[in-house]
Amino acid sequence: MKNINYFLIVFITCIFLFFSCRGTESDLGNNITEIKISEVICNCFDANIKPISDKIISNVDINDPFSDNIVVISMDRNFSRLNNPPKKCFFGNIEIESIIDLTNITLEPEEFFNYEHFLKNFTQILELKLTANCKENVVRVIRQLEKIEGILAAEPNYLWEAKNF
């Protein structure tokens, strides 16, 4: 299997499709207790900020083809910060090796057609590289991330294989 680096494009598209098709945590009957920002070890965001979107609950299955140490998350728009990912402590006690901002932008504000509109609708996408290499850990971390206020969606880094037609 070859890990295709263009997963980001597919993921962004899927997020918007899933958002309109999948249920929220209350629709699914899950008893998920959200972790409030003020309960997180460090103060990465103002505790008065509230999410503006319903959470997207992952349908990940341990048998799906995905990386054994990477989780991709979408932040709620109110928690998205252009070129400024949250610190590791935002994610509680999850053991994270590194955080990569997949939406890092090098353009200057004047290079955008409508910079204010862009910032208002910006959704930050992050790659969390976990310290443990274990698919079960990835699923466990996704379930933990779904409980954190400010995280819109968490999914594994799916591996896709190009097939000859």
User: Which pLDDT belongs to residue 54?
Assistant: 81
Most confident of 8-17, 23-32, 84-93, 132-141: 132-141
Q: What is the number of residues in the chain?
A: 165
Number of H helices and E strands in the chain, helices first, is 3, 4
Domain boundaries, the chain: 7-158
The answer on pLDDT for 109 being more than 80 is no
Give the 3-state secondary structure percentages of the chain, helix then strand then coil, rounded to 5: 30, 20, 50
pLDDT digits (tens, 9 = 90+) for 35-61: 443 333 344 555 556 666 688 999 999
Using CB atoms within 10 A of its CB, is residue 45 exposed (0-12), middle (13-18) or buried (19+)? middle
User: Which pLDDT belongs to residue 18?
Assistant: 41
At residue 98, φ and ψ (nearest 5 deg) are: -155, 160
Query: Do the beta carbons of residue 1 and residue 163 sit within 8 Å?
Result: no
- Confidence band of 78 (pLDDT split at 50, 70, 90): confident
Please state the rounded mean pLDDT for residues 9-37: 40
User: Which pLDDT belongs to residue 112?
Assistant: 73
User: Which pLDDT belongs to residue 30?
Assistant: 40
The answer on pLDDT for 106 being more than 70 is yes
pTM above 0.85, yes or no: no
User: Which pLDDT belongs to residue 165?
Assistant: 57
Average predicted confidence (pLDDT) for the chain? 76
